Structure 1
Amino acid sequence: MRSVRARAATGATLVVAVALIAAGAAVLLSLRANLIDQTELQAEVVAREVAAQIAVDVPFDRLDLPDDEERPVQVVGEDGRVVAVSEKLEAISGTSSDQVTPRSPGPAPSGDDNDGDGDGDDDDPGRGEVSSDDPLFRSGSATVDGESADYRFAAIEATSGAARTYTVHAGAPMATEQDAVGTVRDAMLVGLPLLLAVVGGVTWLVTRRALRPVEGIRSEMAAITRSEDLSRRVPEPASRDEVARLARTTNETLAALEASVERQRRFVADASHELRSPIASLRTQLEVGAAHPELLDVPGAVEDTVRLQQLAADLLLLARLDAGERPGANRVDPAVLLREEVAQRAGDRIPVEVTAADGLEVAGSRNQLARLVGNLLDNAQRHAATSVTASVRAEAGRIVLAVADDGSGVPEQERERIFERFVRLDDARSRDEGGAGLGLAIARDVARRHGGTLTVARSASGGALFELTLPQAPPEGS
């Protein structure tokens, strides 16, 4: 069953079937027990009535036995003789004797001659009694006037005035119980399949209606895949259930994918544009040098080659970051890293003043973090008027590396835009003096890959303040 609707309908039907079978069995057992209790009560009442007559020494041939053919009675003496049976009783089973022909009781046991005349009779008999114990119930059958049926027999002991003990077996028919249980069972056997069919059908229809929006989402996604048009969106149901949330999440994913593809397209277009300029310049210089060797600008060609190399390295790094390259788990000291980067700029136009706390470590890629710090220092030196300051400090379990300059700063409305790729706020600046607009984009991507953040604000001197926040590495061995 590959269909969700079929699995849901089958599962619901099976669950309901198990529940109904269990409930039906419990109902049948309870009904049967109640009816048997009523039958036993009827049999006990008849047995006690007959036992009460025996207790007052009513002769057996004068016992008032039920004339109801559905209430067979058998009286058995303690010697096993049947002394009385109800009229028209032809056969019986389930009692202490299967005899249905009454016989006179035997002589009284020795010691039972209460009048002392030795005749075995009690001329002045006392009053007998009926056992107060709960009767013994047995299932059996009896044939009355040619009709056989199942009965529930109650056995009551009675003691006559002559101290003789008799057992009265009185039966009540089981036909009522059997008919009632059979009727209920038959009704269940007929109704259960119908109810299960209704449950399965309703579940199928409800599931089909519930999954209809899912089919709409699937068909629209298939159309988007065929057309490669990421601007399309799947239909969102008006409900607030899981399907509606699935549709909204799918549309959010499509929007993010569309934005990612658009960024990729812009990236490719901008990269092509940025690469075209140094390549064209380098080609021009080489063509002029080939025609007129004395006019070859070697320093300019070298500068264009270096710029082209740096741009290619930046593009490759961004490609690796976009591909999800993990930074690794090396332990890096930001203070040492900062001092090494500053030492390489000893002869630069703007010096860098460093204030860094030692002994702090972060986990990540040393090369990527070095590129991040270098890009921040390059940006600060490019825009500073007279000074650049850099510091490393610990703050609430995290490490903050700050780079500030005294330049013109970054307008507040542009503080997020400068981290986009190929964005340069100073459009009048020549490309030779500035970068390609990838340094800060690379810096923020590296920061995010290391679980940190990179933000820009206004420095105390009025320029730009870039703050890199990274999680501090736990102590070694922890």
Structure 2
Amino acid sequence: MTMNPQLSAIVVHDLKNELGVLEGRLATLTVDLDREQALQAHASCIALREKMIAFLTLYKATEQGLNPRIEAVHPDDFLRELIRNHVHSRPELTLTMDSDALPAIAFFDEHLLGLAMNAALQNATRFAKSSIVVACRKTAGEIIFTVRDDGPGLDATEEQASTGLGMALCAAIARAHCSDDKYGSAHLSTCADGGALFSMRLP
């Protein structure tokens, strides 16, 4: 299994464009030290770093495979940290955690799942109108993480098309989590009452 050359070219082009945006914001700051501009530049830098890590992780998955380090993790702490990392992405958004049915302990690779959930949150941030809700529950022997936004759902269009890197990364990370003959999976769907729902199921 090798990485799709077209996806690689698109991602590299996207990274180049984002570096250009960051360069422009930093150039503005050399003239006028504005806090809002500084926050935007910082957010751009974080997003760029995370996209680069995602690309390198996906490359490793396709060339060498991923070997997750499964450990006992507190989903409450894990999701709260994700929220803290994204709370300034769009200050007008409300980003919350649904703690109903939240398990006390779950077993997964915290680093890899963090990459996947960060990608899902970045996607939700682009489309959400006013709110995003993250959650985790255990059912039928699976741990299910979800990210739900109140945007237009999968029919949404962007000025700049998505590279598809996020879902490819999530699928690779989910599948790396396996137990016996069961493999994890990642899905993106439109909710019946509107908005998009990302879900990652881990055995």
* Match for residue 168 of structure 2 among 441, 457, 460: 441
Q: Aligned runs of 1:113-152 on 2, under 5 Å? A: none
1:353 paired with 2:80, answer: no
What is the match of residue 377 of structure 1?
121
- Does the Cα contact within 8 Å between 2:132 and 2:147 map onto a contact in 1? yes
In 2 relative to 1, CA 327–351 (structure 1 residues): closer, same or farther, beyond 3 Å? same
Deviations 1:87-128 (A, max 9, x none): xxxxxxxxxxxxxxxxxxxxxxxxxxxxxxxxxxxxxxxxxx
- Give 1:470's aligned amino acid: L
- Give 1:268's aligned amino acid: S
TM-score w.r.t. the length of structure 2 is 0.73
Q: Aligned runs of 1:316-395 on 2, under 5 Å? A: 316-322=56-62, 323-347=64-88, 348-356=91-99, 357-362=102-107, 364-395=108-139
The separation in 2 between residues aligned to 1:441 and 1:398, in whole angstroms, is: 21
- Secondary structure of 1:410's partner? helix
TM-score w.r.t. the length of structure 1 is 0.34
Matched residues, number: 189
Identity of counterpart residues, as a percentage? 26
In 2 relative to 1, CA 349–440 (structure 1 residues): closer, same or farther, beyond 3 Å? farther
- Give 1:358's aligned amino acid: P
- Does the Cα contact within 8 Å between 1:334 and 1:392 map onto a contact in 2? yes
What is the match of residue 400 of structure 1?
144
The separation in 1 between residues aligned to 2:149 and 2:72, in whole angstroms, is: 28
Deviation at 1:327, TM superposition (A): 0.7
In 2 relative to 1, CA 326–279 (structure 1 residues): closer, same or farther, beyond 3 Å? same
- Does the Cα contact within 8 Å between 1:333 and 1:359 map onto a contact in 2? yes
- Give 2:157's aligned amino acid: D
Deviations 1:25-52 (A, max 9, x none): xxxxxxxxxxxxxxxxxxxxxxxxxxxx
* Match for residue 453 of structure 1 among 182, 185, 191: 185
Deviation at 1:394, TM superposition (A): 1.7
In 2 relative to 1, CA 278–326 (structure 1 residues): closer, same or farther, beyond 3 Å? same
Unaligned runs of 5+ in 2: 178-182
What is the match of residue 180 of structure 2?
none
Q: Aligned runs of 1:26-425 on 2, under 5 Å? A: 260=2, 263=4, 265-280=5-20, 299=38, 305-322=45-62, 323-347=64-88, 348-356=91-99, 357-362=102-107, 364-411=108-155
Q: Higher relative contact order at CA 8 Å, sep ≥6: structure 1 or structure 2?
A: 2
Deviation at 1:409, TM superposition (A): 0.7
User: If you compute each CA radius of gyration, which structure gives the higher value, 1 or 2?
Assistant: 1
- Give 1:332's aligned amino acid: V
- Give 1:407's aligned amino acid: G
- Does the Cα contact within 8 Å between 2:10 and 2:163 map onto a contact in 1? no
TM-align CA RMSD: 3.4
Deviation at 1:302, TM superposition (A): 6.2
- Does the Cα contact within 8 Å between 2:98 and 2:134 map onto a contact in 1? yes
In 2 relative to 1, CA 318–455 (structure 1 residues): closer, same or farther, beyond 3 Å? same
* Match for residue 468 of structure 1 among 179, 188, 200: 200
The separation in 1 between residues aligned to 2:83 and 2:46, in whole angstroms, is: 21
Unaligned runs of 5+ in 1: 1-256, 412-424, 472-478
Deviation at 1:462, TM superposition (A): 1.0
In 2 relative to 1, CA 460–360 (structure 1 residues): closer, same or farther, beyond 3 Å? farther
